[in-house]
Amino acid sequence: MKSYLAAAIQMTSKPDLDKNLIEAEELIELAVRQGAELIGLPENFAFLGKEEDKLAQAPTIALKTEKFLKTMAQRFQITLLGGGFPVAVEGNPAKAYNTALLFDPNGIEVARYQKIHLFDVDVPDGNTYRESSTVMAGQNSPAIYFSDRLGNLGLSICYDVRFPELYRYLSSKGADVLFIPAAFTAYTGKDHWQVLLQARAIENTCYIIAPAQTGNHYARRYTHGHAMIVDPWGLILADAGDKPGVAVAEINPERLHQVRQQMPSLQHRVLV
């Protein structure tokens, strides 16, 4: 593993697949121009609209999005994460998997993760979310892509960040970098987003790459923004703020080794 630049992309996705993919391409190109070799797109980057609309369009979204990710990875010679989009459940038209896909620079899918923790929450701002009404919880094991070039990449999606046991599992299997692409609500994000990312980085002595959604998407759906890259000591290396853009920072294996020597907590685990 060598030092390299990674990017967490921040978008304001809408209920318009084609426009979202155009914006995603522009932001990927921006990150590449800044030298990023590993790039993550946020949850719902291809479509952020009402759940019933997303489900109805799931086959089209999945087909176009997978082709898009493959093409972008090949064109820009990057490793690219599509941080969450609907993939229809075979034999069950009422549900889709919230799926993250990782493609290598050859356009080959190297990891697939289906979100296992579904966001069924009554937020104090008056919004109610029932992800399980249209989404099937993931049936696969947590996903890790083992790479000599980039380090070992662990995948997760948004609400997963509140479940530390998932990240402990990923770190115990060798993860060096943890992806947490999200569409975090504006209300919860202002209090919880940053501290949860820092906690997952610190307790697992891993880098965090957290692409994010920001702003108003439709009706009363607002997200927090602040796509971030966090180092294994919990230091925020890059923060995209509250507008669409990119957060770019270095992933440094020497820093990872240093932190794990200084704070060898992964070696001191008692309960596993």
Q: Which two tokens stand for residue 154?
A: 């662990």
First to last CA, the chain: 27
In this structure, are residues 87 and 161 in contact, taking their beta carbons and an 8 Å threshold? no
Within a 13 Å sphere around the CA of 180, how many CA atoms are in the beta-carbon half? 33
Q: Which two tokens stand for residue 33?
A: 């121009």
Catalytic residue positions, numbered: 43, 115, 158
Rounded Cα–Cα distance for residues 10 and 215 (Å): 10
Q: Which two tokens stand for residue 25?
A: 């391409």
In this structure, are residues 113 and 100 in contact, taking their beta carbons and an 8 Å threshold? yes
Cβ neighbors of 201 (< 8 A, separation 6 or more) are 178, 207, 208, 230, 231, 232, 233, 234
